[in-house]
Structure 1
């Protein structure tokens, strides 16, 4: 059985590709620019496809029996996600695993969270065997923050002081592989989280300890954050992320007890800790 991983060269998709390949599964990695897919595991086939261009999907999806679907943060997330579901159905895929986002109460005010709700509905109504994964904010999002953390001693993601159970993308990949390759998770929705609810200050302190130098949390001033990132991302994205960070600051973003219990069944092990993630990246960043 061949599995198509949509976004197979991205942060999460590449982790899913690696995890499937390690199990000896037949994998096809879809990317907008497959010629850039230089680091795919041996035997994995890169194929062109773009959810924003549905006419490119027929060839990418043709003949696959299982699909891991995600769509990146964008202005047209709902349309792109729905295009992926339609392409999977048209191709005759038997099983689909959709990566949505963790959705605590009232979080639908966040635009890119709300955009995933219609896609979840389409997945559930697709007639395929389905599993929906709802991960928290990724540890690996911090990899793009190396410069401010290492060179300026500042942790700049304004996640607030309530606490977030962020998650390692390798745990998402482990969950995806089990959902794709076993029949144990059909018709289930899983929240995916790390074990510890960390504040911005606590996050900075972990970086400080592992890097051996002071790292301070930048604070909760969203006006200051907006000024800092203007020019680095489009205005629609700034507005979207500002709403998200305001939600994090007001409510936190923690796993429920039920999510923690259910998560182990699909991930297959205890969640990786943020401390262990930072220990890994700090060794690279100090070189």
Structure 2
């Protein structure tokens, strides 16, 4: 039995769907099963990573786990699941982390990197089998541009000319499923990026070509970006993400533009380019 946390999310939902389609027995962990549109035949359990008392039932009979959580509570939430997995006899956990753990040195720490580093440490010190996935930024960040594109053919972002080797969530999910179901991935850390680095301006140009209409780029301040994030996430999460962005913009070391070999190393083929992803999701932009 596989347990998937974040089963209705951008990555967890894809991992669950792939495992289910391949005929594996899968259980989805969600806070509210009544609001979880999941495939027929998937076992669904109500649990909360923030409430350790809800986790034993979710892990009953589970052999492997895909573990992901978001925000400033990630270290605590992942530690809760890992502790419960130890007691339940789970053999292997594939954990979604972030490339920021690899990027940020101790002397130039950020909250985002620290949250994920704490979560990784809880897993690697547990004695359980583990695999850690450290993706760069997701290509799906571009979906946040859709309202501006539909309304005025404009994209607004605080990042203009920073090259980023973004990765498609579909490729992250494929790597996660391979790590869960195939031998040879325990004790491995995979840095996941796409096969190319593009600036935001270049992404906008590619997206405009795919959509067949010119798009205009407008740079906004980090303060404006923070305000937009604070409307969707907790203050701590918004603060942490913006601080990490500021560090990336100010460092000038080009780390986010580095192409890492994790995706082809695991899958045996290059990941999607941004053009590939944009073509697959063109319908989302109207």
- TM-score, normalised on structure 2? 0.90
How far apart are 1:176 and its partner, in Å? 0.7
Unaligned runs of 5+ in 1: none
How far apart are 1:235 and its partner, in Å? 3.0
Q: Aligned partners of 2:205, 2:256: CA distance in 1, in Å?
A: 19
Unaligned runs of 5+ in 2: none
Tell me the residue number matched to 2:280: 280
Distance verdict in 2 for CA 1:244–1:220, change over 3 Å: farther
Q: Aligned partners of 1:80, 1:171: CA distance in 2, in Å?
A: 25
1:95-128 CA distance string (max 9 Å, x none): 1111110134326623122111122122112222
Tell me the residue number matched to 2:66: 68
How far apart are 1:34 and its partner, in Å? 1.5
Tell me the residue number matched to 1:269: 269
Q: 2:75 aligns with which of 69, 78, 92?
A: 78
Distance verdict in 2 for CA 1:245–1:14, change over 3 Å: same
Tell me the residue number matched to 1:101: 98
1:232-251 CA distance string (max 9 Å, x none): 54433332222122133234
Distance verdict in 2 for CA 1:156–1:179, change over 3 Å: same
The number of residue pairs the alignment matches comes to 281
Q: Aligned partners of 2:123, 2:232: CA distance in 1, in Å?
A: 33
Q: 2:54 aligns with which of 48, 53, 56?
A: 56
Runs of 4+, deviation exceeding 6 Å = none
Alpha-carbon contact 2:165-2:198 (below 8 Å) kept: yes
Q: Aligned partners of 1:130, 1:238: CA distance in 2, in Å?
A: 29
Matched position secondary structure for 1:67: strand
How far apart are 1:213 and its partner, in Å? 2.7
Distance verdict in 2 for CA 1:4–1:271, change over 3 Å: same
1:54-105 CA distance string (max 9 Å, x none): 11111111110001101122x3221111111112111110111111101343
How far apart are 1:280 and its partner, in Å? 2.0
State the superposition RMSD in angstroms: 2.1
How far apart are 1:229 and its partner, in Å? 4.9
Q: Aligned partners of 2:263, 2:206: CA distance in 1, in Å?
A: 25
Q: Aligned partners of 2:105, 2:36: CA distance in 1, in Å?
A: 34
1:208-242 CA distance string (max 9 Å, x none): 22223332233263234335555454433332222
How far apart are 1:159 and its partner, in Å? 3.0
Bigger drift between 210-219 and 4-13 goes to 210-219
Matched position secondary structure for 2:270: coil
Tell me the residue number matched to 1:43: 41
Tell me the residue number matched to 1:91: 88
Tell me the residue number matched to 2:240: 240
How far apart are 1:139 and its partner, in Å? 1.2
Distance verdict in 2 for CA 1:23–1:236, change over 3 Å: same
Matched position secondary structure for 1:201: helix
How far apart are 1:184 and its partner, in Å? 1.2
Matched position secondary structure for 2:219: coil
How far apart are 1:276 and its partner, in Å? 1.2
- TM-score, normalised on structure 1? 0.90
